[in-house]
Amino acid sequence: MHDGVALGSLLLALLGGIMRVSTPFLFVSLGECITEISGRINLGLEGTLVFGAMSGYGVSWLTGSPWLGVLAAGVSGMLLGLIHGLLCSLPKVNDIAVGIAMMLFGTGISFFIGKPLIQPEAAMLPSWHLGSWSHDPQVRDALRVNALLPLGLGLAALLRLAFKRTRLGLVLRLVGDNAAAARALGYHVVRLRILATVAGGFLAGIGGAFLSLYYPGGWNEGLSSGQGLMAVALVIFARWDPVRCALAALLFGAAGALGPALQSQGLTQGYYLFNAAPYVLTLILMTLSWRPGQTLAGSPGELSLTNRS
């Protein structure tokens, strides 16, 4: 009897946690999905995430509007995406190396500019209290849906449609699959890839704003620890399909929520190990979804990461 209650409250804590933790994964992975479909990898989204978190928090604090903060985070993500896109367009410049550099650069400038933001309290993003019918505080907490999650889920469906049905989506896929063919048809490959990286940066920046403006909330230097990087692996696991990205983001959210949920139930032993669950999950999924010497199904043909001899 007692165990049943404990399991129930653990699951409730997990449910609330999944919605909180998966939202940044969702936005970053959708952004990375757009970039990868165009045939480029942006490993620097970790830096974009942190930069978005910082600028979103700063703007929300200055203007009092969290939504302006989200917009600012998106725009600053676009800026980093633009730098990445332009650098990768130079001859002999490798997108993976640029990504690593942008990861260090993005976190560095965020910590530098964001130093005065550690103290002040900015306006937070709102949430819907779907559980207000219940008197149980745990149920109410578990059913609190943040405003960005439905937006992200809707965006995932929209993006899938866009990649399948719209002209821009199809052109982007062509550019990612076969640059020579796209060029022959008269499309500007480099420009489209830069565009895709900028769009990816926009979404990753929004994911960052969620970190500082909702959960964990506040600005500090430990806000992101690899979510941006895991999103790259997540997209590959989701086989470049936005809807599957959303499902995978929920799965990653569950892994990330496990540690805090167990902690809320009083289990503090092995705290660090539970918090490593998302990394372990990513590693296992990568191992399972990659095949040696074989190109992954659905992989954009121009992608350096998944096509090898």
Residue ranges that bind other proteins, judged by CB under 8 A? 43, 83, 87, 90-94, 96-98, 100-102, 104-113, 115, 225-226, 229-230, 232-233, 270-273, 275-276, 279-280, 282-283, 286-287, 290-294, 305-306, 308-309
Q: In the complex with other proteins, which residue's Cβ is closer, 148 or 231?
A: 231
Least separation in angstroms between CB 162 and other proteins: 27
Q: Which region holds residue 92: left if phi is over 0, alpha if psi is between -120 and 50, else beta?
A: left
Least separation in angstroms between CB 105 and other proteins: 3
Least separation in angstroms between CB 306 and other proteins: 8
3-state secondary structure of 225: coil
Least separation in angstroms between CB 42 and other proteins: 13
Least separation in angstroms between CB 109 and other proteins: 6
Per the CB < 8 A criterion, the answer to whether 49 and 207 are in contact is yes
Least separation in angstroms between CB 65 and other proteins: 24
Q: In the complex with other proteins, which residue's Cβ is closer, 118 or 157?
A: 118
Per the CB < 8 A criterion, the answer to whether 259 and 53 are in contact is no
Q: In the complex with other proteins, which residue's Cβ is closer, 105 or 187?
A: 105
Q: In the complex with other proteins, which residue's Cβ is closer, 12 or 232?
A: 232
Collect all residues with Cβ–Cβ distance below 8 Å to 151 and sequence separation of at least 6.
Answer: none
- DSSP alpha helices (H): ranges in 64-188? 66-89, 95-113, 137-142, 148-165, 167-177, 179-184
Least separation in angstroms between CB 72 and other proteins: 17
Q: In the complex with other proteins, which residue's Cβ is closer, 16 or 219?
A: 219
* Number of CB atoms found within 10 A of residue 91's CB: 4
Q: In the complex with other proteins, which residue's Cβ is closer, 103 or 153?
A: 103
Q: In the complex with other proteins, which residue's Cβ is closer, 180 or 288?
A: 288
Of 21, 13, 44, 79, nearest in space to 207 by CA? 21
Q: In the complex with other proteins, which residue's Cβ is closer, 70 or 234?
A: 234
Structure letter (DSSP) for residue 294? S
Burial class from Cβ neighbours inside 10 Å (0-12, 13-18, 19+) for residue 190 reads: middle
Per the listing, tokens 């703007």 go with: 59
Q: In the complex with other proteins, which residue's Cβ is closer, 64 or 270?
A: 270
- The helix, strand and coil proportions of the chain, stated in percent and rounded to the nearest 5, come to 70, 0, 25
What the block records as the tokens of 144 is 């609190």
Least separation in angstroms between CB 94 and other proteins: 5
Question: How do beta strands 127-129 and 144-146 pair?
Answer: antiparallel
- Measured in degrees and rounded to the nearest 5, phi and psi for residue 145 equal -100, 125
**245-248: long-range contacts at Cβ-Cβ below 8 A with a sequence spacing of 24 or more?**
245/26, 245/29, 245/30, 245/33, 245/156, 246/26, 246/30, 246/152, 246/153, 246/156, 248/25, 248/29
Least separation in angstroms between CB 79 and other proteins: 13
